[in-house]
Structure 1
Amino acid sequence: MGQAVDTITTPKSGKTTFEGLDAIAHQLVETEAPDGYNKLKDPADVTIVANYDQDGVLQSWTVNGGGNDVALNIQNNKGTLLPETGGMGTIIFTVVGALAIIGGIAWAVRRKHSVR
């Protein structure tokens, strides 16, 4: 991922205009969400493609495969985020618990057979 070129603060209207961007792939990354909203988990991809004639004059351009006047809608959601669950800690506890149960069953079976 490249470095941030510009940092902006979205106004209360929620609408921002970008001008003068190069014809490459860009990412919009939310660094802070408005109060009461969740921060976006993933960046929003924006790809600008420019078409030039043989003399290098710009003929047309598109944003994300659409026209040249594209509104990219990014919606922030309200509410609380649940913590992510699972991962290595859960796997380790599951394996240790399963081994303890198997060990207990094996011990009980051996004890039962040795008593006879």
Structure 2
Amino acid sequence: MIKEEEEEFVPEEGEEFVPEEGEEFVPEEGEEFLSEEGEEQAKEGEEQAKEGEEQVKEGEEQAKEGEEQVKEVEEQAKEGEEQVKEVEERAKEGEEWAEEGEEKEGEQDNAFSSQMK
């Protein structure tokens, strides 16, 4: 008795499996079978993945720009602090000069009043 070998249908790219009555396609390990709808969904998924990757890249670029802005603001803050220190030093010097001037003025007043007596 000769046994008929069952032919197995393996869909190739672009080829569609149309099961005969009572027949069902069961993909083997590593094989994929997608209906037209499944293929469309897969393409949409790939497109969404690409869009997601682009959004991630844009987000990374924005983050870098934000980091640069933070550095600039920090530098400006340091410059501002240095300017504040300079102004404070000048103010102290001005106070010292004012005190010295008052002392000299007091000495002159004392000398003048001594001469007047």
Q: Tell me if TM exceeds 0.5.
A: no
Higher fraction of strand: 1
Higher fraction of helix: 2
Q: Which has the higher contact order (CA 8 A, sep 6+)?
A: 1
Q: What's the TM-score once normalised by structure 2's chain length?
A: 0.32
